[in-house]
């Protein structure tokens, strides 16, 4: 209809103007399914647990354990802590409970609204880490945490920004996945590029732990439900639409096929074996200093 042309074109303008970091529908969905305040992969102590025996409660416990491990790495250091990519505030809540003074940072509008309501006394920086006002925060933080947010940050500029906002004795806690081989979706930074950039900018990894086996149960759980529920449900909706409204189905059959292909592609990428082949999930403590071999608790990289 001609009267709908204007709103139709406006919808394209709105879509093109939305940055994923500012309006991420996927993150919003995750926060609604798992309302514990965390948007991480979780850390499962029992890596042999099959997805059939897991529950949403088990996922939430693993997410809490993941965050507890990060707070443990902060140690007893006094001074403010920046949660760069705060999500829905689960880590901020734990930091408060441990007696730390957290500052939250996020560019996501839904997360900003939530944080202002849930944690009105916690300082909140609206925007990306690359946009942090250095005049205000230069040398301010004792600890900077990037938990599943570094993958969205610029590889070359972020270490320099962290260097500027940390105190001289400060530390950078980074927990995220990195690419180690070919993957169907090139999300995350390449591990070799990352370590080279740290060396170039004068950082050293003082603690490194590969926690990939401990995050795979979550990936397996998501993959299982996608294959068992999402795929059959999408097929059911398409078949029912074709039977009840064949003309509408004919109009949108190409779109439905594209959606089905996209869903199956995402499910393929959530396969735990494929994830483990192309990526590794690292928990790191990084400090200034001469680059050297990183070690984990057992003395090995």
Tens of pLDDT, residue by residue over 225-271, are 666 555 556 655 666 666 777 876 677 767 656 665 555 555 555 67
Mean pLDDT for the stretch of residues 262-289: 79
> Cα angle at 215 between 209 and 220, to 5 degrees?
155
The answer, yes or no, to whether residue 99 has pLDDT greater than 90, is yes
Q: How far is CA 257 from CA 151, 229, 238, 267, in A?
A: 30, 18, 9, 15
Give the residue with greater pLDDT, 244 vs 297. 244
Which of 20-29, 118-127, 276-285 shows the lowest per-residue confidence on average (mean pLDDT)? 20-29
The secondary structure of residue 231, as a DSSP letter, is H
Tens of pLDDT, residue by residue over 29-55, are 444 444 445 678 899 999 998 888 888
**CATH entry, 51-214+277-288, from 3.30.930.10, 3.40.50.970, 2.60.40.60, 3.40.50.150:** 3.40.50.150
Q: What is the pLDDT of residue 233?
A: 61
Q: How far apart are CA 179 and CA 194, in angstroms?
A: 10
Strand order in the sheet with 141-147: 124-126, 102-106, 81-84, 141-147, 166-179, 279-288, 203-210
Mean pLDDT across the chain: 80
The answer, yes or no, to whether residue 10 has pLDDT greater than 70, is no
Q: What is the dihedral of CA 27, 153, 98, 171, to 10 degrees?
A: 170
Give the residue with greater pLDDT, 11 vs 145. 145
SS3 at position 260? helix
């Amino acid at each position: 209809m001609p009267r709908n042309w204007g709103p139709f074109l406006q919808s394209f303008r709105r879509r093109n103007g939305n940055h994923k970091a500012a309006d991420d529908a996927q993150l919003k969905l995750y926060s609604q399914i798992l309302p514990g305040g965390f948007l991480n992969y979780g850390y499962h102590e029992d890596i042999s647990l099959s997805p059939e025996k897991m529950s949403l409660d088990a996922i939430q416990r693993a997410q809490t354990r993941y965050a507890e491990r990060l707070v443990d790495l902060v140690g007893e250091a006094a001074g403010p802590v920046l949660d760069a990519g705060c999500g829905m505030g689960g880590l901020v809540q734990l930091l408060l409970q441990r007696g730390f003074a957290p500052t939250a940072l996020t560019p996501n509008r839904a997360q900003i609204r939530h944080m202002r309501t849930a944690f009105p006394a916690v300082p909140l920086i609206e925007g990306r880490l690359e946009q942090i006002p250095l005049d205000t925060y230069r040398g301010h933080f004792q600890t900077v945490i990037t938990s599943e947010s570094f993958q969205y940050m610029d590889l070359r500029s972020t270490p320099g920004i962290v260097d500027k906002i940390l105190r001289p004795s400060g530390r950078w806690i980074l927990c995220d996945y990195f690419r180690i081989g070919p993957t169907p979706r090139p999300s995350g930074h390449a591990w070799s590029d990352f370590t080279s950039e740290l060396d170039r900018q004068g950082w050293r990894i003082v603690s490194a732990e590969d926690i990939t086996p401990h995050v795979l149960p979550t990936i397996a759980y998501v993959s299982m439900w996608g294959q068992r529920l999402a795929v059959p449900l999408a097929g059911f909706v398409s078949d029912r639409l074709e039977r009840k409204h064949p003309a509408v189905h004919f109009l949108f059959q190409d779109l439905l096929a594209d959606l089905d292909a996209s869903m199956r592609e995402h499910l393929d990428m959530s396969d735990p074996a494929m994830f483990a082949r192309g990526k590794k999930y690292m928990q790191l403590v990084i400090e200034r200093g001469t680059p050297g071999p990183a070690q984990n608790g057992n003395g090995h990289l």
